[in-house]
Amino acid sequence: MLTSLEQWIIQLIEWLQELPGGPWAGLGAPFLEAIFPFLPLVLIISANAATYGFLLGTLLSWVGSLLGTILVFTAVRYVFRKPMTRWLEKHKQGVYWLERINHMSPISLGFLYSLPFIPVSLITYLLALIQMPLRTFIMAAGFGKLLVVLIFSVIGDQWEEFIQSPFRLSMLGLLLFVLWAISRGLEELLKRRAFKKRNEQLKRELDAKRTTL
């Protein structure tokens, strides 16, 4: 199994190296992932680090992903806001997340962007719909994406050691589990905060009605 995985990684690295444009291809891959979120960002980040080295691979992955995310944000905010709002009204999952991020700080949003198990593309859409200031959005997304890029760039830069070391593989599996657990825990925390704010709002509205009677 490890041999087949190693061969697959080598093929992926060779494929990236053969793409025209050199490092521009490494920049374009995470850029496209931000627009088409079904692409495997974690594999792209790791492959960039394995192909171009840790420093250049990290820079290409971070800049490419951040530029793509900014493009999506501005497109939704200034071009597709009305159709996206109609889409949001028809999907409970969108409303579900909107209630959770509406009152979050930029630091908390940045932490959301650093978790690979959180639907960051949906978060980008929602932040654009609530018209978050562009500068604040860039700070939050840039901080969060830098964290996740650094983590998986380290793995990509040392992928041979990870493949050959059961201990490192175990630590990688543990890291992914911890990130998943943090994602679930944060989602539950945001859910409780949203329900609490909703109940407080309903209580204020009820008190206001009683006052007018």
Smallest CA-to-CA distance from 48 within 70, 35, 32 is with: 32
Are 60 and 27 within 8 A, CB to CB? yes
**Least-confidence region, from 2-11, 46-55, 75-84, 138-147:** 2-11
pLDDT at 59 over 90: yes
Are 9 and 163 within 8 A, CB to CB? yes
Residue-level pLDDT at 1: 47
Percent of the chain with pLDDT over 90: 10
Taking residues 29-57, report their average pLDDT. 86
Question: Of residues 169 and 170, which shows the higher confidence score?
Answer: 170
Compute the mean pLDDT over every residue in the chain, rounded to the nearest whole number.
Answer: 76
Q: Where are the domains of the chain?
A: 2-212
Most confident of 39-48, 81-90, 181-190, 193-202: 39-48
Residue-level pLDDT at 197: 63
73-124 per-position pLDDT tens digit: 999 988 888 887 777 777 666 666 777 777 677 777 777 787 766 778 888 8
pLDDT at 202 over 60: no
